[in-house]
Amino acid sequence: MADEKKDFATMGTETFKIDGQSKDRVVLNIQEEKSTVVLDKSGLNEKKSSGNFFVDWYNKINNYFLAHSGVKVKEKATFLHLLSVMINSGIPMVMSLKSLVAQMDKSPRLQMIVKDLAEKIEAGDSLSSSMLQYGEIFTDAEIGMVESGEASGQLARVLENLAQDAEKAYSIKSKVKSAMIYPVVIFVLLILVVTGLMIFVIPKLTELFASAKGDLPLVTKIVVGLSNFMINNGIFILIGVAGIFVFFSVFKKTDTGKYALDKFKLSVPVFGNLFKEAYLARFARSLSNLLDSNISIVKTLEITANSMGNEVYRKRLMLAVEDIKQGIPLAENLTDSDLFPPMLVNMIDVGEKTAQLGEITAKVAIFYEDEVDTAVAGISKIIEPIILIVIGLTVGTVVAAVMLPIMKLSSLSSSL
């Protein structure tokens, strides 16, 4: 009879003695009917060689792309929250991470990372130094706060703050996207429909228009001319559109391109103010969390600048870092910048003078997060009538271009 030793709550290690040798395996789900999954070093389900060359190569390619995939912000927030709860409950770090491997089964990439973090910490590394290996997943701000939490013995609280921050950042990003996606989809569909009319419908009616006596209406001439241009130069139009797409894809990766496009985003009518409020909410939230973790103001601003996601704000904050090193207060530094509203600068000034900058910027973050909610609701109400007007004018123009000559022909035929 097998000698069995169990040590788990939601997961753990089972040790079985088979033929005098101990076998350990990670158990993910313990139910009445036990189901076990053995994990390999990458944190993925272990797949032995199938003997089929194509299947084995498919698995290798699949694992490669999986290892280079991203992690959703919501999944990362869940991981940080659960880790905080387990550490706060007194569970050792390695055991907590190994337990979370099982619960990350819906995110194989994150499951792989968590297992690797557990192995690195078990080998003697700290959590923050282990997270440095995954800079594409964990931001500088997150790693800096974890490092501060480890030094101050407040890691559980720091992780919970990070989880809440990630959830709020995800919420703001989702709201901004939702405000933009509706008009973008509508305008793209409108362009496709009008292009289809120009290429497939208008040419069929050209012969009918040609039989009409007298000059065609101006709007019809414009629509027919545009249709002929699109048909005769279709290949050049496609090449031009593809060229513009490639140009912007390359341009936005350059320093000049990033700065120019980010500056343009801030000046876009209607949406520019929404972007600015989202960046200010991120700035205030990051500043509050990092200062609350006892990180110096210089390091805090450096981390915040690199995590803003906007080159205009990043460069302005990096200039502020240099001035703060010279002894100039942050509020005084930001006074002459139109990127930071007077209200925000005044609140920072009060925070610096009362030594409560972290607490005050937390309240400022809440204010701007609420402003984003209000702006999204306002944009939704404004954008709908604008879209209806654009659609009405576009469709009305095409219909008028088609119907006016037909009505003229009908009047001529009835007079005969």
- Scored b (16 or more CB within 10 A) or e, 145-167 reads bbbbbbeeebbbbbbbbbbbbbb
The whole-model pTM stands at: 0.68
Distance, CA of 368 to CA of 286 (rounded, Å): 13
Q: Which of 109-123, 366-380, 398-412 has the highest mean pLDDT?
A: 109-123
Are the C-beta atoms of 400 and 200 separated by less than 8 Å?
A: no
Predicted pLDDT of residue 214: 61
Predicted pLDDT of residue 137: 85
Output 144 or 263, whichever has higher pLDDT.
Answer: 263
Mean pLDDT of 348-359: 91
Distance, CA of 341 to CA of 323 (rounded, Å): 19
Residue-range domains of the chain with CATH: 1-38 (no CATH), 71-166 (1.20.81.30), 173-416 (1.20.81.30)
Distance, CA of 221 to CA of 402 (rounded, Å): 10
**Of the candidates 26, 51, 28, 53, which has an alpha carbon nearest to the alpha carbon of residue 40?**
26
Please state which of the ranges 157-171, 233-247, 362-376 shows the lowest mean pLDDT.
157-171
Distance, CA of 145 to CA of 409 (rounded, Å): 76
Compute the residue count for the chain: 416
Distance, CA of 307 to CA of 239 (rounded, Å): 36
Distance, CA of 320 to CA of 44 (rounded, Å): 45
Are the C-beta atoms of 304 and 287 separated by less than 8 Å?
A: yes
Per-residue pLDDT of 238-296, as tens digits, reads 999 899 999 988 988 888 998 999 999 999 887 888 889 989 998 998 888 888 877 88
Predicted pLDDT of residue 66: 67
Distance, CA of 117 to CA of 199 (rounded, Å): 57
Quickly count helices (H) and strands (E) in the chain.
17, 3
What angle is formed at CA 311 by the lines to CA 309 and CA 316, rounded to 5 degrees? 115
Distance, CA of 361 to CA of 347 (rounded, Å): 8
